């Protein structure tokens, strides 16, 4: 169980780093303003900033 959690955590960091690279090279960013829930929007924003 712990191994699976570590694996999922590492995958999440890799995806965040990839999206940060896309943002740096192309300037493309997700439209977080369209997320209706303020808490989910903040969670997504902090997740995406983790890779920078």
CA distances, 32 to each of 2, 4, 7, 42 (Å): 31, 29, 26, 9
d(CA 7, CA 23): 24
Residues 30 and 15: beta-carbon distance below 8 Å? no
Which residue range(s) make up the domain with 39?
Answer: 2-50
Token pair in block for residue 44 = 């997504």
pLDDT at 16: 87
pLDDT at 52: 66
**Residue 27: which region, alpha, beta or left (left: phi > 0; alpha: psi -120 to 50)?**
left
Residue 28: CB partners within 8 Å, gap ≥ 6?
A: 22
Mean pLDDT of successive 10-residue stretches along the chain, which has 52 residues: 94 89 88 94 88 68
Structural domains in the chain (count):
1
């Amino acid at each position: 169980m712990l191994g699976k959690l570590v694996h999922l955590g590492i995958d999440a960091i890799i995806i965040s780093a990839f999206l940060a690279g896309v943002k740096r090279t192309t300037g493309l960013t997700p439209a977080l303003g369209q997320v209706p829930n303020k808490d989910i929007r903040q969670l997504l924003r902090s997740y995406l900033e983790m890779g920078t």
